[in-house]
Amino acid sequence: MSVAPAERPGSEPGRTIFQKGAPGRRAFVCPDSEVPEIDPRELLPERLRRAQAPALPEVSEPELVRHYVGLSKRNYDLDSGFYPLGSCTMKHNPRLHERAAALPGHARLHPLQDPEHAQGALELMWRLQGALAEISGLPHVSLQPCAGSQGELAGVLLTRAYHEDRGERRHKVLTPDTAHGTNPATVTMAGLEVVKLETNGAGGVDLEDLRRKADDDVACLMLTNPNTLGIFDENIAEIAEIVHGVGATLYYDGANLNAIMGLTRPGDMGFDIVHFNLHKSFTQPHGGGGPGSGPIAVSERIAPFIPVPVVARASDGSFALDHDRPKSIGRLRAFHGNYGTFVRAYAYICSLGADGLQDASQTAVLNANYLLARLQEHGLAEYLPLAFGELCMHEFVLSGGPLKRRLQV
């Protein structure tokens, strides 16, 4: 027995692929080895060999397809409607990006291909670095981090390296108590200590508390701006002054960057380090929890420490991976970052251009604010999840411009 009649999508949930099929069945047909046969023990001594095959599923190709198509139907996806959760950081995922990323020149390019045979990929990364620098107002970019939280880790390690390079060992990192959980978790992993900051009535940083806590032991302040209510911290200039005043760095959690692109820039606000979530602000599909991508952009003073490699353009116009950065904090992963996500983010930036990005942000802010207004009106602020679906949709009313179609808030 295999796919029982009851195995229609929706019915009998929970039966896994391991419970389907039958012994000996499989989809894979193994090619001939074509090479002279040799005693297996000569190839690999018994002692190093696996004794029993791993108990992987045993299913035919149609069973396999049906099982996973069936599971897919038990997911709720962005292409069918809005999310009750996370929807305001989620964008429409244009299918063009999938098509472009699947081109063999991108998808089947080996990461260790000689740079002269990967000029297109390196150029794409270089252009993305440049675009992210321009968007953030911070000139130096590393595409290495695999997701936002790894970008944060890079940021805190950069801060450490920066201070250590100046002979200082600062151990405190200030984070508002409303910060995303990855912020404090990152601080610990980077060997520093979290010091919580109070939030004021408007959801911003409590300046009094900040002044109290900003001392010579503070390495960094991590901030998200605008914050989760879509409110821009109007004191940001003052905050920067205080933080810089004690010699600390200012870190920008870029998860909400899509609200300000083209309107204002973290670099101009005084931030030293920012991470981007390409899977939020730049249409990398969320995949039900990844893949993501968390590039960082930094100011001049942080630049010597950014992870290797960085894509550099030589005077002859060719592109190369620059590993020769003696003060770098090093690598965060193998190879050069989640290139497939770069293709999509870059495609998004090309599609929208400067105007389109600004339109996208304006629409996002307008909606966030409208949402806020409506929530207050209805006294529903506590019940965001339920109200989201209806309200976010009004974004459509606005999107008249030719490019706004790509904007989903």
Partner 1 sequence: MLAAIGVGSLEELFERQIPAELRLREPLDLPAGMPEQDVYEHLRALAGRNRSVEEQLSFLGAGMYDHYVPALIDMLTERSEFLTPYTPYQPEVAQGGLQVMFEYQTAISELTALPVSNASVYEGASAVAAAAYMAKLHNGRSSIVVSEALHPHSIETLRTYARGYGMQVREVSTRDGVTDAQAWAGAIDADTSAAIFAQPNFLGAVEDAAALSESAKAAVAQDGPVVVAQVDPITLGVLAPPGECGVDVAVGEGQPLGNRLDFGGPSFGLLAAREEYLRRMPGRIAGATEDLEGRRGFVLTLQTREQHIRRERATSNICTAQALNALAGVVYLSWLGRRGIVELGELVLARTHYAREQLAAIEGVEKLHEQPVVREFALRLDADVDAVRRRCLRSGVNPGLDLYALSGRERDRGGLLVALTERRTRADIDRLVEVLAAAIEAERPAGAPAEQLLA
Q: Which residues ranging from 279 to 298 are in contact with partner 1 (CB under 8 A)?
A: 279, 285-293
Window 116-155: contact mask with partner 1 (x via CB under 8 A): -xxxxx-xx------x--xx----------xxxxx-xx--
Residue 262 or 294 with smaller CB distance to ligand PLP: 294
Between CA 306 and CA 26 the distance in angstroms is 47
Residue from 8, 169, 301, 378 touching a copy of itself (CB under 8 A): that is 8
Binding site for ligand PLP (CB under 6 A): 147-149, 180, 182, 224, 253, 255, 277, 292, 294
How many angstroms separate the most distant Cα atoms in the chain?
A: 78
Answer yes or no whether residue 56 interacts with a copy of itself by CB under 8 A.
no
Question: Closest approach of Cβ 195 to partner 1, in Å?
Answer: 10
Pattern 10-49, a copy of itself, x by CB under 8 A: ------------x-xxxx-xx-------------------
Residue (182 or 249) nearer to partner 1, CB: 182
Binding residue for a copy of itself, selected from 15, 83, 92, 340, defined by CB under 8 A: 92
End-to-end alpha-carbon separation of the chain, Å?
Answer: 47
**Four-point Cα dihedral 262, 128, 350, 362, nearest 10:** -20
State how far Cα 169 lies from the chain centre.
29
Q: What is the rounded distance in angstroms from the CA atom of residue 231 to the CA atom of residue 122?
A: 37
CB count in 10 Å sphere of residue 73: 12
As beta bridge partners, residue 50 has none
Query: Does position 384 bind partner 1 by CB under 8 A?
Result: no
Measured distance CA(173)–CA(159) in Å, rounded: 10
Would residue 234 be called left, alpha or beta, if left means φ above 0 and alpha means ψ between -120 and 50 degrees?
alpha
Q: Which residue stretch of 205-213, 214-222, 297-305, 356-364 sits at the interface with partner 1 (rule: CB under 8 A)?
A: 356-364
Interface pick for partner 1 out of 1, 5, 6, 181 (rule CB under 8 A): 181
Is the separation of the CB atoms in 103 and 109 below 8 Å?
Answer: no
Residue 40 structure tokens:
């297996």
Segment lying near partner 1 (by CB under 8 A), choices 211-219, 242-250, 295-303, 345-353: 345-353
Chain positions 198 to 217 lying near partner 1, rule: CB under 8 A, are none
Among 1, 5, 6, 16, the residue binding partner 1 under the rule CB under 8 A is: 16
Q: How far apart are CA 131 and CA 141, in angstroms?
A: 9
Q: Could you tell me which of 390, 288, 332, 360 has the C-alpha nearest to residue 77? A: 288
Nearest distance in Å: CB 138, partner 1: 13
CB of 291 to ligand PLP, least distance (A): 10
For ligand PLP, the closer CB: 161 or 223: 223
Of 139, 129, 136, residue with least CA distance to 303: 139
Q: What's the rounded Cα separation, in Å, for the pair 368 and 398?
A: 13
Q: 245 touches which of a copy of itself, ligand PLP, partner 1, none (CB within 5 to 8 A by kind)?
A: none
Q: How far apart are CA 147 and CA 292, in angstroms?
A: 5
The span from the CA of 343 to the CA of 101, in Å, is 6
Residues forming contacts to a copy of itself in the complex (CB under 8 A) are 1-5, 7-9, 22, 24-27, 29-30, 60-63, 65-66, 69-70, 73, 77, 79-81, 92, 94-95, 389-390, 393, 396-397, 399-400, 402-406, 408
